[in-house]
């Protein structure tokens, strides 16, 4: 079975669907044919090996004129230079306005290929085919695209909506386990900020998710996409819920920065969620039992919560003050009063923040050398 979510995120772009199911990538030919005459699959080199060449062959066999472009794998290639290089390759192949871009890959690919689609010939139709769990539940939902620059992450880009998002669960079988965790953390975040039923389901179904059970995955990915989509849609209508999505991210980003990005985003956010849940206990009435549930949930997924080195509390406070949610140098946090219950974005007393960071220093172990 295929589940479908309707997206009407932007008033200027056509509404479109997010489809979730197993084996979907191979069934897109009729839809694709209606979009364009030529197809440019953009992917990274690792995803090209696992899925890109096969998809290109399938589309060609179905009679679609298809080109495959790949760039080296990794966040450090999400740059203007890679974008320029891909654009040159598209021009050299003579691809013009009758071309559809297919973004096949993790969040690096969906962000970069989405940005190429947004500007090439002033905008080409775009189809997202996320291949990592993180791209499925986060990066491919909402339409944000962009690249990193030496001045900061995601500092160049735009919002550009695709014609469809195709979430094919079968693609996850080649995804490394550590990458699967990156997506699990954001799904748990979606549960904490907006849906206790999802959180409870994620708590109890960890083994099924880790074993890539299709039925369970389809459900949690659907709910997770729905939550992010609704938050982004309502944000477009002027209801500012977007900050909910930053739960765990104020502290998480500070940890990523202080570790020089050696700490993966998912792990940094997981630790950040715990610190912000700790703050929520002190400042927003989150019950100790709810805090414990969040802590144990990460354990159930075997998420390794370790810090790469000791971070003195004052160093943490400085890094946190740089967060983009800060107002006049005072950081704000997304705090929740209960799992699934609309969080608030607020300032906290520095003494409470210190306590939460001291809890972290004491409770999160360092990597063994």
Ligand X SMILES: NC(=O)c1ccc[n+]([C@@H]2O[C@H](COP(=O)([O-])OP(=O)(O)OC[C@H]3O[C@@H](n4cnc5c(N)ncnc54)[C@H](O)[C@@H]3O)[C@@H](O)[C@H]2O)c1
For ligand X, the closer CB: 111 or 195:
111
Look at residues 83, 94, 91, 85 and name the one whose alpha carbon lies nearest to residue 118.
83
CB of 131 to ligand X, least distance (A): 4
For ligand X, the closer CB: 40 or 357:
40
Site pattern 132..171 for ligand X (x: CB under 6 A) = x-xx--xx--x-x---------x----------------x
CB of 186 to ligand X, least distance (A): 7
Q: For residues 169 and 36, is the Cβ–Cβ distance under 8 A?
A: no
CB of 37 to ligand X, least distance (A): 28
Quick check: 303 binds ligand X (CB under 6 A)? Answer: no
**CA angle (178 as vertex; 175, 184 as ends), nearest 5:** 90
Angle between the 313-321 and 249-258 helix axes, to the nearest 10 degrees? Answer: 110
CB of 108 to ligand X, least distance (A): 3
CB of 258 to ligand X, least distance (A): 18
For ligand X, the closer CB: 179 or 278:
179
For ligand X, the closer CB: 47 or 100:
47
| Range 17-46, binding ligand X (CB under 6 A) | 44, 46
How many residues bind ligand X, per CB under 6 A?
29
C-alpha separations of 172 from 210, 222, 240, 351 in Å: 11, 15, 33, 43
CB of 67 to ligand X, least distance (A): 20
Q: Which long-range contacts (CB under 8 A, 24 or more apart) does 256-263 make?
A: 257/319, 257/322, 258/311, 258/315, 258/316, 258/319, 259/307, 259/308, 259/309, 261/75, 262/308, 263/307, 263/308
CB of 71 to ligand X, least distance (A): 10
For ligand X, the closer CB: 154 or 234:
154
| Range 278-297, binding ligand X (CB under 6 A) | none
Q: How many CB atoms lie within 10 A of CB 58?
A: 16
For ligand X, the closer CB: 67 or 190:
190
Look at residues 334, 8, 336 and name the one whose alpha carbon lies nearest to residue 195.
336
Gyration radius (Cα) of the chain, Å: 21
| Range 49-68, binding ligand X (CB under 6 A) | 50
| Range 73-92, binding ligand X (CB under 6 A) | 73-75, 78
CB of 94 to ligand X, least distance (A): 28
- At which residue do the structure tokens 């998420």 appear? 303
Gap between the Cα atoms of 139 and 285, Å rounded: 31
For ligand X, the closer CB: 38 or 148:
148
Q: For residues 204 and 287, is the Cβ–Cβ distance under 8 A?
A: no
46, 142, 115, 117: CA torsion to nearest 10: 90
CB of 49 to ligand X, least distance (A): 8
Look at residues 67, 133, 68, 127 and name the one whose alpha carbon lies nearest to residue 106.
133
| Range 174-193, binding ligand X (CB under 6 A) | 174-175, 179, 182
| Range 106-135, binding ligand X (CB under 6 A) | 106-109, 111, 131-132, 134-135
Q: Which residues bind ligand X (CB under 6 A)?
A: 44, 46-47, 50, 73-75, 78, 105-109, 111, 131-132, 134-135, 138-139, 142, 144, 154, 171-172, 174-175, 179, 182
């Amino acid at each position: 079975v295929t589940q479908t979510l309707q997206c009407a995120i932007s008033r200027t772009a056509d509404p479109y669907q997010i489809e979730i199911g197993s084996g979907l990538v191979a069934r897109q030919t009729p839809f694709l044919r209606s979009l364009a005459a030529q197809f440019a699959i953009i992917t990274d080199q690792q995803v090209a090996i696992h899925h890109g060449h096969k998809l290109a062959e399938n589309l060609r066999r179905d009679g679609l004129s298809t080109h495959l472009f790949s760039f080296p794998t990794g966040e450090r290639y999400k740059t203007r230079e890679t974008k320029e290089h891909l654009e040159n390759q598209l021009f050299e192949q003579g691809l013009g306005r009758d071309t559809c871009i297919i973004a096949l890959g993790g969040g690096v690919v969906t962000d970069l290929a989405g940005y190429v689609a947004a500007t090439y010939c002033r905008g080409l139709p775009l189809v997202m085919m996320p291949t990592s769990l993180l791209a499925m539940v986060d990066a491919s939902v909402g339409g944000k695209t962009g690249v990193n620059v030496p001045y900061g992450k995601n500092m160049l880009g735009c919002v550009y909506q695709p014609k469809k998002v195709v979430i094919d669960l079968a693609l996850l079988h080649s995804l490394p386990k550590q990458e699967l965790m990156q997506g699990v953390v954001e799904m748990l975040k979606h549960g904490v900020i907006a849906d206790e039923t999802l959180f409870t389901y994620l708590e109890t179904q960890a083994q099924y998710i880790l074993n890539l059970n299709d039925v369970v995955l389809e459900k949690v990915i659907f709910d997770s996409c729905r939550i992010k989509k609704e938050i982004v849609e309502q944000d477009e209508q002027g209801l500012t819920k977007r900050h909910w999505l930053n739960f765990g991210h104020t502290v998480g980003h500070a940890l990523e920065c202080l570790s020089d990005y050696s700490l993966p985003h998912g792990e940094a956010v997981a630790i950040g969620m715990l610190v912000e849940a700790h703050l929520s206990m002190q400042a927003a009435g989150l019950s100790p039992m709810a805090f414990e549930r969040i802590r144990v949930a990460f354990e159930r997924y075997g998420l390794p919560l370790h810090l790469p080195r000791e971070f003195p509390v004052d160093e943490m406070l400085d890094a946190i003050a740089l967060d983009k949610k800060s107002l006049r140098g005072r950081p704000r946090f997304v705090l929740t009063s209960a799992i699934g219950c609309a969080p608030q974005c607020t300032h906290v007393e520095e003494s409470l923040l210190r306590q939460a960071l001291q809890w972290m220093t004491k409770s999160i172990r360092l990597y063994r050398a």
